[in-house]
Copies of this chain bind each other. A is one copy, B any other.
Amino acid sequence: MAELTKIVLSEKDMPTHWYNINADLPAAGVEMAPPLHPGTLQPIGPADLAPLFPMALIAQEVSTERYIEIPDEVQDILKLWRPTPLYRAHRWEKALGTPARIYYKYEGVSPSGSHKTNTAVAQAYYNKQEGITRITTETGAGQWGSALSFACQIFGIECKVYMVKISYEQKPYRKLMMQSWGATVVPSPSDQTNAGRSILAQHPDSTGSLGIAISEAVEEAATRDDTKYALGSVLNHVLLHQTVIGQEVIKQLEVAGADWPDVVVGCTGGGSNFGGFAFPFLRENVINGKSARIVAVEPAAAPSLTRGVYAYDFGDTAAMTPLLKMHTLGHDFVPAPIHAGGLRYHGMSAQISAIKEAGLIEAVAIKQRSVFEAALSFSRSEGILPAPEPSHAIFQTMQEALACKESGEAKTIVFNLCGHGHFDMASYEAYLSGRLSDYEFSEADMKESLAHLPQVA
């Protein structure tokens, strides 16, 4: 193998700015609808978000500046694991017998094991700057909760995580990781908030959902002066912080002497790993005449981009958050308990939703058994045991590579391996023992929850 197996950059080559796609959306003909106030259904201003977020993050949420400087202190912390490696999948290509050239970016080297740490550090930093001493959040699969716990620990901020009850019970090691970094972890729904108590009153056995946990974390932040809230995906500033990923990949492909990619693949739940990875490529498509196909891969059990409606909806079950115009299955839709907990969300980032509506990206939805089959195929060649979430991207990459085998084309395919599966081994057991269910989403359930969509004029 003359060509490198992995392309590593020195931390001196780390991106110094985040890329803000808002700056390029007008040129791409994409229009963003403003967020609305949950009470008045009127467009909100910065002051409406101030109880939840520090002003610096609110400013980033609405900024149209193309490049936003990454503070030195944030860069210093990112250097604990960034730049992350880009791999050429020599062995997997050979195992698949494809002429395609497959590259993958590996974000699993961060302390908490996924890309979530990129924005966790930035968010904790801006909270610290504004004197915040306490942050609440929610976590489903646990990647985001552990990323924020780590970041809060670094900045000496108290961190409280509402963890979806079923994950709390099934993934004790994720919980322990958060506790090891000093966080308080509470199973949600809990009796600590009105939102939690109200759910428990109706459904005492509720195993929770991301939407409920968000309601609890938001309520606590909104009602306590010393506390703000942090979200691990969906919002513009979160996707912004993840753009270090795509920027590094473009530089690494150049170092590798690779062709410009034909296909760029990422999994998508709320959209942060997909956006952070794909937006720098999308800019090249829109502004510099490149033409990579950009493919978002979502689970068949929560197919917001491919099956949801494009409409205003709440981010949480209790209808407390601002409304975003996004692809949604309805804010009280509860996806089936697939193992890719990070992709079990009813809505999609407003930016990605608008970009999808404009036809600038493709989207597919995949059932979980095929996802695990692809994950093992990959791992048995490349070693890394991927989390269930990026295994969706692995599946799609495998389809593209097998199509190349059919056609004889040597396409260049790049995907984002946004986290390892070390805390997801129970899902591998389910797959290996043949107990894994191939959930699909329920059209009937969606119709019911879509009937609860807020009526926006």
Residues of A within 8 A of B (CB): 1, 4-6, 8, 10-12, 76, 79-81, 87, 90-91, 109-113, 150, 153-154, 172-173, 176-177, 179-182, 376, 379-385, 420, 422-423, 425-426, 428-429, 432
Contacts and interface: CB of A to CB of B under 8 A. Distances in A.
A383 B150 contact: yes
A8 B6 contact: no
A101 B178 CA distance: 28
B81 A180 contact: no
A409 to B, nearest CB: 26
B5 A383 contact: no
Given A79-B5, A111-B385, A182 B380 contact: yes
Contact of A376 (B91, B110, B180): B180
A436 B11 CA distance: 39
Nearest to A151: B383
A85 B429 CA distance: 31
22 contacts: A4-B11, A4-B79, A5-B11, A8-B8, A80-B383, A110-B383, A111-B379, A111-B382, A111-B383, A111-B384, A150-B383, A172-B425, A172-B429, A173-B173, A173-B425, A173-B426, A176-B428, A180-B376, A180-B379, A180-B425, A181-B380, A420-B422
Nearest to A255: B10
Given A4-B79, A80-B87, A173-B173, 13 more contacts: A1-B79, A4-B11, A5-B11, A6-B80, A76-B90, A113-B422, A150-B383, A176-B429, A176-B432, A179-B428, A180-B379, A180-B385, A422-B423
- Count the copies: 2
Most buried by B among A154, A173, A420: A173
Nearest to A173: B425
A426 B154 CA distance: 23
A426 B174 CA distance: 11
Nearest to A81: B383
Nearest to A73: B1
Contacts of A8: 8, 10
Contacts of A429: 172, 176
Q: Lowest 7 CB-CB distances: which A-B pairs, in order?
A: A111-B383, A173-B425, A422-B422, A5-B79, A176-B425, A8-B8, A80-B383
Nearest to A108: B109
A74 to B, nearest CB: 13
Contact of A5 (B76, B180, B376): B76
A214 to B, nearest CB: 26
A182 B379 CA distance: 11
Contact of A379 (B109, B181, B384): B181
Nearest to A381: B154
A454 B180 CA distance: 46
A111 B91 CA distance: 14
A257 B153 CA distance: 30
A86 to B, nearest CB: 12
Most buried by B among A6, A110, A432: A6
Contacts of A110: 383
A323 B6 CA distance: 42
A150 B80 CA distance: 27
Contact of A6 (B79, B112, B380): B79
A20 B182 CA distance: 44
A88 to B, nearest CB: 10
A11 B90 CA distance: 15
A124 to B, nearest CB: 13
Most buried by B among A6, A113, A150, A180: A180
Contacts of A423: 422
Contacts of A111: 379, 382-385
Nearest to A83: B8
Contacts of A385: 111, 177, 180
Contacts of A150: 383
B177 A5 contact: no
A179 B432 contact: yes
